[in-house]
A = this chain, B = another copy of it.
Amino acid sequence: MTFLLGTVFSLLASGAAAAGHLFPDCESGPLANNTVCDTTASVSNRAKGLVAALDTQEKFQLVVSTSPGVPRLGLPSYEWWQEALHGVASSPGVQFASSGNYSYATSFPQPILMGAAFDDKLIEAVATVVSTEARAFNNANRSGLDYWTPNINPYRDPRWGRGQETPGEDPFHIKSYVKSLIKGLQGDDPDYFKVVATCKHFAGYDIENWNGNERYEFDAIINPQELSEYYMQPFKACARDAKVASIMCSYNALNGVPTCASSYILQDVLRDHWNWTDDGFYVVSDCDAIQNVYMPHDYSPTREGAAADSLNAGTDLDCGTYYQTHLPAAYGRGLVDDAVIDQALVRLYSAQIRLGVFDPASSTAYRSLTFSDVNTPEAQDLALKAAEEGIVLIKNDGTLPLDIPSNGTLKIAFVGSWSNATAAQMQGNYAGIAPFVHNPLYAASQLPNVQVLFGGSPGDPTTGGYPAVLAAASAADVVFYVDGSNSGESADRNLIRWSGERRDIMTLVAGLGKPFVLLQMGDQLDDAPFLNQENVSAILWAGFPGQAGGDAIMNIVTGKTAPAGRLPVTQYPEEYVRLVPMTDMGLRPNETSGNPGRTYQWYDGATVPFGSGLHYTDFEVSLHEEDDGEAPSWAISDLLDGCAENYKDLCPFRSVAVRVENTGGVASDFVTLGFVAGEHGPVPYPIKQLVAYERLFGVAPGSAATASLNLTLGSLGRHDEAGNLVLYPGSYSLLVDVPTQATWNFTLSGDETVLEEWPQDSGPNQNATMVMLKQAI
């Protein structure tokens, strides 16, 4: 009668290696004389030196996320899995202290709200703080240096449970955003990565478990045109242009092949087409996508085959234990060879070398960052600013900003299930431990000349809280109804409407006839019942705004800050989710399937369109170009002739100046959005496509500022059915603002010209092990 709880864990030491982030001792450790410790050698030679010192069985243990290291070589254990979606986040490799130093990190808004700011400099600044804090944690041996962020799958369906983790639905927007983000995360030191960032989930991910379709098994069927023009765009920017050091392959299959076992996307597209081959660039699997290649994908016929197919396709690191467990047998059966395992290890250790792991602490200032660099006053201000910039004013009858008497008291009722929002609600997916989380109720309670009447939640679905809600609202001068919708990982939404119970209590309270402000948090819900409801005075969307979210909201509400955020997603009507299954990856309307089209590019029935956002003032937008009379024209060949860019889609076309005049009474930022529409390229034509944006800051009443919309040839191009990016002759219109305030028409003439030839998929692989095994039987 013995009870050995847990003792067997030690039987497989390598499977239970503790996370650790000590650096190898290159001064006097066993590796001191290995080339890896020679800072004068090239990165790849250093990595090869280390790999040459490993025996084969050791190698298989080092290509998993919880690496045991090699004690005999003084190579420490290492946890490759860190998260930092919007601040250093709780994850296997991040150890927050229970109190005091390193017990928290700055918590910025979720990307969906930061995306709404349309301010790339803001994103770079936020990412710079995150990487600084990450380095501080690492220097205290509290985290590794490989961060599995950002999530850049475009938010193509409003039900997606992880849409909140992305900047939105538009590929141009995500591209601009992610370039700034990666710059901030990886830093600008040519010799050292500040941290390794990881663009995920490559590619065609974005379903969690909708209606029994689990991400681990989902096979995304995407045609080359839409794959190239939409799903791949963010990764192209991240890998080719921003030179992110790591890419994560995804759970799903893409056109029949699990992405982690797809040499088409990992080799042909990523490494060959995008030239993503710098020292230290590696591919990591989602957790545990390599297991999924075996089951439930049933792609590889054996476990060893799944491990081999993934490694051979170019997945260098396994988040999980499958490589560790099954590569030895795969090697024994000849399914993998020495070259491919060495290639993975050279990539992984090159990344470590470029992080400075094998270099003296004096080699980079990153090694000197400490907890005094965490959640600094500047970082706190930035977290507040990021939330303020993102918040979107959807409706306003003049109630906002509130008129708070300077020598009296304004009674504000706070009701609804998010009014006293939890930290989890305020922060959203992949959060860290914040130094504080100021929710709307708290922030309001800090305002002078305001009395807060907290009425709690009405209950959903029960009505137990109705009386208290009504009592608070009845006793107040103004009612704030704070509520929202929360999706999450493994939790797609089925519905995007306000529930019947919420519509009931909200209209009941609004019916009291007091100024009624809907503070809409979390994911988008169809606001149609409230947009035309005159008892609803204002609607403000604040997403998941992070540690200073309540402060940001109240700064907007009181007019201390003027709102200027724009919706980075379409707010769809509730019926949308009945028209198209999540599994349908098609973007274009399809009469046969009933797909009404996805995103603002192809769907025109939005409740609140992409790019919408009101102000406390009025802006008039004008273009010099628009009054020039006849539309100008360019010859396509001329446009290309003068361009020296390696990648022709990056060739500049024209910088268009937009005059933005504040004709109202309140100083305000203004987000200048430029879209292209017109009859050019393959039918159907999209409604319009975002091609440039610039946020202008603090435009004073009565004054004007100028935004520059920098168009490239790529932004004028369209993708043919094979996925090639082509510049087509035809008519073009630049549309500025949402709704459009100014238009500039021009034409391109001459022959259509390919800007980028898209690599073709040879179709579902004859995967190597499948063939070999079949032959062996």
Interface string of A1-27 (1 = CB under 8 A from B): 111111011011011100000000000
Contacts of A447 in B (CB 8 A): 1
Question: Is B216 in contact with A499, judged by CB distance below 8 angstroms?
Answer: yes
Partner among B9, B15, B288, B461 whose Cβ is within 8 Å of the Cβ of A216:
B461
Which stretch from A32-40, A500-508, A724-732 is at the chain B interface?
Answer: A500-508
> A295 contacts the other chain (Cβ, under 8 Å)?
yes
Question: Is A216 in contact with B501, judged by CB distance below 8 angstroms?
Answer: yes
A578 vs B413: C-alpha distance when bound (angstroms): 47
Closest Cβ–Cβ distance, residue A291 to chain B (whole Å): 5
Given contacts A15-B468, A468-B16, contact A501 B292 (CB under 8 A): yes
A171 vs B504: C-alpha distance when bound (angstroms): 37
Interface string of A397-431 (1 = CB under 8 A from B): 00000000000010000000000000000000000
A325 vs B511: C-alpha distance when bound (angstroms): 15
Closest Cβ–Cβ distance, residue A69 to chain B (whole Å): 16
> A445 contacts the other chain (Cβ, under 8 Å)?
yes
> A212 contacts the other chain (Cβ, under 8 Å)?
yes
Interface string of A274-303 (1 = CB under 8 A from B): 000000000000011001101111100001
Question: Is B495 in contact with A212, judged by CB distance below 8 angstroms?
Answer: yes
> A494 contacts the other chain (Cβ, under 8 Å)?
yes
Contacts of A297 in B (CB 8 A): 500
Residues of A424-477 whose CB lies within 8 A of B: 445-456, 459, 461-464, 466-468, 470-472, 474-475
A578 vs B583: C-alpha distance when bound (angstroms): 14
Partner among B3, B4, B445, B468 whose Cβ is within 8 Å of the Cβ of A9:
B468
Given contacts A211-B494, A451-B2, contact A295 B66 (CB under 8 A): no
Contacts of A471 in B (CB 8 A): 8-9, 11-12, 15
Contacts of A468 in B (CB 8 A): 8-9, 11-12, 15-16
Question: Is A295 in contact with B9, judged by CB distance below 8 angstroms?
Answer: no
> A626 contacts the other chain (Cβ, under 8 Å)?
no
Contacts of A265 in B (CB 8 A): none
Question: Is A320 in contact with B3, judged by CB distance below 8 angstroms?
Answer: no
> A209 contacts the other chain (Cβ, under 8 Å)?
yes
Partner among B212, B294, B456 whose Cβ is within 8 Å of the Cβ of A6:
B456
A470 vs B494: C-alpha distance when bound (angstroms): 38
> A322 contacts the other chain (Cβ, under 8 Å)?
yes
A454 vs B11: C-alpha distance when bound (angstroms): 12
Contacts of A501 in B (CB 8 A): 216, 288, 291-292, 295-296
Partner among B8, B217, B450 whose Cβ is within 8 Å of the Cβ of A1:
B450
A409 vs B2: C-alpha distance when bound (angstroms): 9
Interface residues on chain A, number (Cβ under 8 Å): 72
Question: Is A303 in contact with B504, judged by CB distance below 8 angstroms?
Answer: yes
Contacts of A8 in B (CB 8 A): 453-455, 468, 471-472, 475
Nearest opposing residue in chain B for A2, CB measure: B451
Q: Is the interface of A mostly helix, strand, loop or mixed?
A: mixed
Interface string of A303-337 (1 = CB under 8 A from B): 10000000000000001111011000000000000
A479 vs B579: C-alpha distance when bound (angstroms): 48
> A214 contacts the other chain (Cβ, under 8 Å)?
yes
A468 vs B325: C-alpha distance when bound (angstroms): 12
Question: Is B295 in contact with A500, judged by CB distance below 8 angstroms?
Answer: yes
Question: Is B577 in contact with A212, judged by CB distance below 8 angstroms?
Answer: yes
Closest Cβ–Cβ distance, residue A301 to chain B (whole Å): 13
Question: Is A462 in contact with B504, judged by CB distance below 8 angstroms?
Answer: no
Contacts of A6 in B (CB 8 A): 454, 456
Interface string of A211-251 (1 = CB under 8 A from B): 11010110000000000000000000000000000000000
Question: Is A295 in contact with B503, judged by CB distance below 8 angstroms?
Answer: yes
Question: Is B1 in contact with A448, judged by CB distance below 8 angstroms?
Answer: yes
A131 vs B640: C-alpha distance when bound (angstroms): 86
Given contacts A8-B475, A212-B577, contact A319 B454 (CB under 8 A): no
A292 vs B462: C-alpha distance when bound (angstroms): 9
Closest Cβ–Cβ distance, residue A347 to chain B (whole Å): 22
Contacts of A211 in B (CB 8 A): 211, 494
A726 vs B279: C-alpha distance when bound (angstroms): 82
A456 vs B217: C-alpha distance when bound (angstroms): 25
A526 vs B445: C-alpha distance when bound (angstroms): 54
Given contacts A445-B1, A446-B1, A508-B303, contact A494 B209 (CB under 8 A): yes
Contacts of A16 in B (CB 8 A): 467-468
Contacts of A3 in B (CB 8 A): 445, 451-452, 454
Contacts of A500 in B (CB 8 A): 216-217, 291-292, 294-298
Partner among B209, B291, B456 whose Cβ is within 8 Å of the Cβ of A504:
B291
Question: Is B467 in contact with A325, judged by CB distance below 8 angstroms?
Answer: yes
Partner among B66, B454, B462 whose Cβ is within 8 Å of the Cβ of A464:
B66
Question: Is A321 in contact with B464, judged by CB distance below 8 angstroms?
Answer: yes
Nearest opposing residue in chain B for A295, CB measure: B500
Given contacts A212-B577, A291-B501, A452-B2, contact A319 B495 (CB under 8 A): no
Contacts of A499 in B (CB 8 A): 214, 216, 296
Question: Is B466 in contact with A321, judged by CB distance below 8 angstroms?
Answer: yes
Contacts of A214 in B (CB 8 A): 495, 499
A211 vs B15: C-alpha distance when bound (angstroms): 39
Contacts of A11 in B (CB 8 A): 468, 471-472, 474-475
Question: Is B494 in contact with A212, judged by CB distance below 8 angstroms?
Answer: yes
Contacts of A296 in B (CB 8 A): 499-501, 503
Contacts of A1 in B (CB 8 A): 445-451
Question: Is B494 in contact with A9, judged by CB distance below 8 angstroms?
Answer: no
Contacts of A325 in B (CB 8 A): 463, 466-467, 470
A408 vs B217: C-alpha distance when bound (angstroms): 46
Given contacts A288-B501, A499-B216, contact A14 B456 (CB under 8 A): no
Partner among B298, B453, B463, B470 whose Cβ is within 8 Å of the Cβ of A4:
B453
Nearest opposing residue in chain B for A578, CB measure: B212
Contacts of A5 in B (CB 8 A): 454
Question: Is B216 in contact with A463, judged by CB distance below 8 angstroms?
Answer: no
Question: Is A288 in contact with B463, judged by CB distance below 8 angstroms?
Answer: yes
A538 vs B295: C-alpha distance when bound (angstroms): 23
Question: Is A292 in contact with B461, judged by CB distance below 8 angstroms?
Answer: yes
Residues of A245-259 whose CB lies within 8 A of B: none
Write 11 A-B pairs (CB below 8 A) sorted by A numbering: A11-B471, A11-B475, A12-B468, A16-B468, A212-B494, A214-B495, A288-B461, A291-B461, A292-B500, A295-B500, A303-B508
**Known A1-B450, A287-B461, A294-B504; further 12 A-B contacts with Cβ < 8 A:** A1-B445, A1-B448, A3-B454, A5-B454, A11-B472, A11-B474, A212-B494, A320-B462, A320-B464, A321-B464, A324-B467, A325-B470
8 nearest CB pairs, A to B = A15-B467, A296-B500, A212-B494, A295-B500, A11-B471, A12-B467, A320-B463, A3-B445
